[in-house]
């Protein structure tokens, strides 16, 4: 069924299977590079990850590969335009950076050493997003080994996803012509469950800030001064506690402006999904599930916004006790946003809420930690969804479902705005793989399935375009 010039799919699939051990070795090499984008001390590691990925792209075939400097960490751009006339152009997106590994002591094996244990691969970033982003590079190489891929290719790998992709929108704008495509295939995103193929049709947006409460200019003795000087940790607790009510709703005036979801159709789809709440709870280890009153768990996770404190700190943190009245305390806050919410509006609303409630005896400082990202949803009737569903059914021999995602892939908005292209999340990570947490892992069988699925998807998109004249772009 392959078209003129393109490699035959069967041969490509055979090659992917033969070369799989070498491709798995690439994942181990990439995990070994501690590309922690939030920590300036790891800037050289992030660059090393970009150079490694660029090297693989150059090995893959006659791609034009470039490492793009940004104001932050570099991105890798690659392109190839040799597909037959009329073939669609796909832009593959993924990210090379990872979250910090702390708390280090909670890891069973070293975070930056891919470790095979109990049929899993463990390592920081293996699931988010190093294994899944390596897959399409290998698939391109296998196609070139037998001729050429059936679709025109662009690859864009960034190294700032974990810090909110501050520079990627500018990169996309600056290289819009070279990145022009019919559809974006994101290797980032994560599949809902390990036992059920799924396509993620929406992701929450995000914004964040750091609240710092200042009291005395230095830590004071809590006996000598306690009672007469406001304790900034009390004020911090009061401010943080003021952000939610007893019903789990965010109390910030304006926070829910524009929020309507889930609509009736979405709610009906949520209700139709097989979902074992108790199994989900057990997986988190929380004593019970808890969230915004009036919504089910899946709606809370995918279609309702949140305001979460990711870290709080101040005063003495060590063993035992130290009787200080601390000079300051902080709370690191991020919000997950849904359709209708503007990140800047949400940030301004939180700032106003906090500034209106500064307790006596302290001052506060609200710092924006990252650029905001609006929520994303691919249109339900986009042809790439139909193609991907067919591919997942072939690979997993099971009908896939459509689901949401609580996390964020901020760059989707830039792809839509600048390139006019929608994004399909086509990741073979699974949502339970402890990403951003100790002992992050990946399922080796998903790496195999991913190689097959990406090859089949490119092939199907090309065939659909050729045989039906259907537009891959919508």
Residues 276-295 that bind a second copy (CB under 8 A): 280, 284-292
Which residue of 14, 109, 344, 363 would you call a contact of a second copy, by CB under 8 A? 363
Closer of 284 and 468 to a second copy (Cβ) = 284
Question: How many positions of this chain bind a second copy (CB under 8 A)?
Answer: 102
From 15-23, 59-67, 331-339, 443-451, span contacting a second copy (CB under 8 A): 331-339
Q: What is the DSSP letter of 357?
A: T
In the sheet with 363-373, reading across from the earlier edge strand, the strands are 328-337, 205-214, 363-373
> In terms of DSSP bridges, do strands 64-68 and 75-80 run parallel, antiparallel, or are they unpaired?
antiparallel
Shortest separation between residue 220's beta carbon and a second copy, angstroms = 6
**Minimum distance between the CB of residue 169 and a second copy, rounded to whole angstroms?**
18
8 and 2 Cβ atoms separated by less than 8 Å: yes
Of 21-29, 114-122, 320-328, 392-400, the segment contacting a second copy by CB under 8 A is: 320-328
Q: Which helix (H) or strand (E) holds 241?
A: helix 232-241
Under 8 Å between Cβ of 375 and 206: no
Rounded Cα gap, residues 79 and 242, in angstroms: 50
Give every CB contact of residue 22 below 8 A, 6+ residues apart in sequence: none
The pair of three-digit structure tokens given for residue 82, joined into one six-digit string: 């040799």
Site for a second copy in 433-462 (CB under 8 A): 434-439
16 token code pair: 């992917």
Q: Report if residue 198 touches a second copy, rule: CB under 8 A.
A: no
- Rank residues 108 and 398 by Cβ distance to a second copy and give the closer one: 108
310 near a second copy, rule: CB under 8 A: yes
Which CB sits closer to a second copy, 177 or 288? 288
| Stretch 207-246 residues interacting with a second copy (CB under 8 A) | 208, 210, 214-231, 233-234, 236-244
**342 is a contact residue toward a second copy (CB under 8 A):** no
The string of DSSP codes covering 48-60 is HHHHHHHHHHHHH
CA distances, 18 to each of 6, 307, 446 (Å): 20, 47, 16
Does residue 329 belong to the site contacting a second copy (CB under 8 A)?
Answer: yes
Whichever of 228 and 265 has its CB closer to a second copy, that residue is: 228
Piece in contact with a second copy (CB under 8 A), picked from 79-87, 314-322, 393-401, 448-456: 314-322
Q: Angle CA(136)–CA(139)–CA(140) in degrees, nearest 5? A: 90
Q: Which of residues 31-90 bind a second copy (CB under 8 A)?
A: 38-40
Measured from the CB of residue 111, what is the shortest distance to a second copy in angstroms? 13
Question: What does the alpha-carbon distance between residue 431 and residue 403 come to, in Å, rounded to a whole number?
Answer: 12
Please say which residue, 138 or 324, places its beta carbon nearer to a second copy: 324
- The contact mask relative to a second copy for 380-419 (x = CB under 8 A, - = no) is -------------------------xxxx-----------
- Please report whether residue 262 would count as binding a second copy according to CB under 8 A: no
* Of the candidates 442, 441, 444, 456, the residue with the CA atom closest to the CA atom of residue 397: 456
Which residues fall within 8 angstroms of residue 271, CB to CB, at 6 or more apart? 296
């Amino acid at each position: 069924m392959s078209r003129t010039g393109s490699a035959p799919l069967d041969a490509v699939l055979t090659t992917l299977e033969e070369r799989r051990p070498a491709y798995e070795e690439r994942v181990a090499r990439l995990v070994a590079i501690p590309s922690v984008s939030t920590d300036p001390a790891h800037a050289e590691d992030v660059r090393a990850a970009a150079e490694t990925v660029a090297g693989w792209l150059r090995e893959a075939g006659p791609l034009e590969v470039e490492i793009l400097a940004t104001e932050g960490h570099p991105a890798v751009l690659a392109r190839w335009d040799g597909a037959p006339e009329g073939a669609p152009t796909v832009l593959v997106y993924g990210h090379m950076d990872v979250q910090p590994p702390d708390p280090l002591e909670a890891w069973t094996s070293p975070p930056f050493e891919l470790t095979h244990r109990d049929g899993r691969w463990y390592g920081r970033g293996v699931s988010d997003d190093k294994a899944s982003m390596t897959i399409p590079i290998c698939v391109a190489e296998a196609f070139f080994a037998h001729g050429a891929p059936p679709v025109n290719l662009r690859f864009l790998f960034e190294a700032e996803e974990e810090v909110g992709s501050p520079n990627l929108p500018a990169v996309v704008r600056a290289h819009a012509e070279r990145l022009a495509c019919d559809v974006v295939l994101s290797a980032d995103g994560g599949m809902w469950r390990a036992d059920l193929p799924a396509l993620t049709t929406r992701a929450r947006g995000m914004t964040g800030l750091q609240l710092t409460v200042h009291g005395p200019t230095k830590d004071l003795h809590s006996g000598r001064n306690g009672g007469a000087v406001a304790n900034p940790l009390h004020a911090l607790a009061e401010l943080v506690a003021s952000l939610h009510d007893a019903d789990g709703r965010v109390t910030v005036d304006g926070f829910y402006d524009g929020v309507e979801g889930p609509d009736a159709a979405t709610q009906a789809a949520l209700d139709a999904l097989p979902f074992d709440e108790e199994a989900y709870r057990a997986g988190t280890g929380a004593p019970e599930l808890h969230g915004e009153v009036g919504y089910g768990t899946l709606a809370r996770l995918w279609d309702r916004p949140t305001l979460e404190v990711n870290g709080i700190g101040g005063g003495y943190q060590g063993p035992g006790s130290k009787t200080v009245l601390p000079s300051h305390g902080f709370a690191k806050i991020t919000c997950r946003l849904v359709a209708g919410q503007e990140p800047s509006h949400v940030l301004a609303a939180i700032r106003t809420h906090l500034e209106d409630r500064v307790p006596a005896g302290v001052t506060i400082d609200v710092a924006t930690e990252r650029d905001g990202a609006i929520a994303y949803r691919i249109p339900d009737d986009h042809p790439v969804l139909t193609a991907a569903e067919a591919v997942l059914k072939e690979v997993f021999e099971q009908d896939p479902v459509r689901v949401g995602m609580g996390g964020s892939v901020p760059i989707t908005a830039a792809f839509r705005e600048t390139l006019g292209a929608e994004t399909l999340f086509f990741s073979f990570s699974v949502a339970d793989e402890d990403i951003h947490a100790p002992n992050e892992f990946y399922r080796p069988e998903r790496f195999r399935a991913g190689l097959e699925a990406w090859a089949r998807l490119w092939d199907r998109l090309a065939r659909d375009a050729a045989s039906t004249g259907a537009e891959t772009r919508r």
